[in-house]
Structure 1
């Protein structure tokens, strides 16, 4: 099967990036739970007093380094793309969190905040579906799962995903002990763990099906 035109792939890469950042921002301001990596970043931000965008950028850069150690080949194009992804993503998160905090009143009702977190996580899954199918570059944590799947788990994605979740779980545990409070882990986190895979698979089939799963550059 032929790849989509490069302009189509670039459009959906950028659209996916914006949607993932916006969805994460929604789940952050909901205070009703986030995906594991975002929850870990929120805990570290509260612990250190550093902004969430800087923490996300730092995590992304560290994971890029881990991916380089795991990969059996080096590609400047891949590394440059993932660096660009991390920088844009962290700045977009900062922009959307700031804009939503100023212009949107978070509901006090817990169930409405959980609903907001679920909407945000669902938007993240839609954006992930877009940029993964465009297959220009991936967020480093997604690349980590892909590398673990192919190199160590004989293409068993579920086991690789569990191992990829170990670092954020360790970070969440450490920040919980230090802060004496759980940050970023609530009902939205459980929804993310249970539904990310099925939602991305659903959007792969139903959202803009003309966008194929393209071969790498």
Structure 2
């Protein structure tokens, strides 16, 4: 393997591992804010309410079922990121939710709003990283990507559609829906696209994102 290919693979692995892990951290911020969870977590928590399992265990089982679906429909979406998401994300979320509650036991409204903004930002940035790394995505993310690749509908709108479906079903089973849920339901797709164009794609190509964006801005003004 050439040095260039080895460097590219290392970048992809780092972006995949950090991106998926950061997704679990982002959900922890959502949980602390108590303004509602992201759409997929709304669905997962709604279904979790029907069981007596720990959340980490339930999430792993639920992800495994979705994994089988993705394996049948589009196995190209399965990779390192998928495995980490299935077996570690639930536990990362569980730990970080506990850690934030321990660190800030009496969070007021302002702190909760800050946590919500941080959670949304981290979640979209993390997704942009592991989408671009192309080493497997979460089984939920694979649904919107599959739809966008097999229909004339753009990814942003496929993501909104899948998010709306998850929120409706999760809410029906008793999951909490709040401001954070509504924001992510309609803005996750566009924000992921933004972070891909401005950060993730330049990084995966070994370029400085700031330099690339400055050049792009100059070109567009000429």
Shared fold (TM-score, shorter chain, > 0.5): yes
- Tell whether 2:138 aligns with 1:139: yes
Would the aligned equivalents of 1:134 and 1:213 in 2 still touch at CA under 8 Å?
no
Q: Secondary structure at the match of 2:203?
A: coil
Would the aligned equivalents of 2:16 and 2:81 in 1 still touch at CA under 8 Å?
no
Would the aligned equivalents of 2:12 and 2:133 in 1 still touch at CA under 8 Å?
yes
**Which residue does the alignment assign to 1:171?**
169
Offset of residue 63 of structure 1: 1.3
**Which residue does the alignment assign to 2:83?**
83
**Which residue does the alignment assign to 2:64?**
61
Runs of 5+ in structure 2 lacking a partner?
207-222
Q: 2: CA distance between counterparts of 1:67 and 1:82?
A: 10
Larger Rg belongs to: 2
- Tell whether 2:26 aligns with 1:28: no
Runs of 5+ in structure 1 lacking a partner?
177-182
**Which residue does the alignment assign to 1:48?**
51
Q: 2: CA distance between counterparts of 1:160 and 1:209?
A: 21
Would the aligned equivalents of 2:17 and 2:81 in 1 still touch at CA under 8 Å?
no
**Which residue does the alignment assign to 1:101?**
101
Normalised TM-score (structure 1)? 0.79
How big is the alpha-carbon RMSD for the aligned residues of Structure 1 and Structure 2?
Answer: 2.8
Cα 1:156–1:209 change in 2 (3 A) is closer
Number of aligned positions between the proteins: 202
**Which residue does the alignment assign to 1:160?**
158
Farther-moved stretch of structure 1 (132-141 vs 51-60): 51-60
Counterpart pick for 1:186 among 169, 178, 190: 178
Structure 1 residue runs of 4+, over 6 Å off?
none
Structure with higher RCO (Cα < 8 A, 6+ apart): 1
Would the aligned equivalents of 1:38 and 1:184 in 2 still touch at CA under 8 Å?
no
**Which residue does the alignment assign to 2:203?**
211
Q: 2: CA distance between counterparts of 1:213 and 1:161?
A: 25
> When you count helix as a share of all residues, which structure comes out higher?
2
